[in-house]
Amino acid sequence: MATDVLRIGTRGSDLALWQAHWVQAELRRIHPALTVTVTIIKTTGDRVLDAPLSQIGDKGLFTREIEHALLAREVDIAVHSLKDLPTRLPAGLMLGVVCEREDVRDAFLPHPANPVRRLLDQPRGARIATGSLRRKCQLLNLRPDLSIIDIRGNLNTRMKKLEASDWAGMLLARAGVVRLGWDDRIGESLDPLAILPAVGQGALGIEIREQDPEVAALIAPLHHPDTAAAALAERALLRRLEGGCQVPIGTFGRMERTGDGETELVLDAMVGSLDGRTVVRGQRRGSAGRPDTLGSDLAEELIAKGAGVILDAIRTGTVDPPPGDAR
């Protein structure tokens, strides 16, 4: 890269651009002499809109083309929603920075004509939209009477679909809704332990080339150690479970104070069947200095409790094919 220019690669959705422009503004604030530009790159996930993500694969759907540009030195960094970034990165690339996490919770957005604001207060048989197997599984586990509608598209598209529908409402990640200024549309923010979030939800990841110390130094001030520890534990769990869009997996890492005033990393996780009838949950606590170990250990615990059977059934097709995706 030129010493005075940094090029950001990003998707072109409103949310992705909000995230890239936030990073751009922060880097300009930290490095006033640095020129920071944004390059929009269309990904497979942006192009294929007529099929559930779980049916078209999940490895790098929203990152692959941006990573190609990064490796080709067409851009210098890639800004991602961390939940879109696969746990195994292409050779030559690395996760350079994890930015401070926004609100990790999912949110229920009721239809504008629906006066019932809380998710679990919806009437029997209510139609709830989500593009996420993770949300669908956990919601059906709590309310098997609900009817789940699959939905695709960026946040603007989903909002328009909701307004034109007869649905009771839809589920989205709260962070994205807030970033786009739609706080007033939220009926309820869900307890993250009742419906566990996606891996990395609410956090931004900045991907860079491995052998690029100059870039690494420029973005280093954006790194948030507590968020990184939590996210790395979540990603280690997902990597061990080999999960993705086809498998309902939720997890929530965070730093908590112990009774003696120390701080520890706490990780909750779940693996569930596609119909929500079977959900395996677990929790581990440990040192923030070993997030990978904490995540992989919890994954092993879940497998021992029966998650392995669930995962094998989904992967071998001994259950109905998944109708949505895990995002």
Closest CA to 240 of 199, 299, 315, 294: 299
Residue 255 near residue 265, CB atoms below 8 Å: yes
Closest CA to 83 of 240, 235, 269: 235
Residue 251 near residue 282, CB atoms below 8 Å: no
Residue 174 near residue 107, CB atoms below 8 Å: yes
Phi, psi of 225 (to 5 degrees): -60, -40
Residue 217: what residue type?
A
Phi, psi of 206 (to 5 degrees): -110, 115
- The residues assigned a catalytic role are 84
Distance CA 80, CA 16 (A): 7
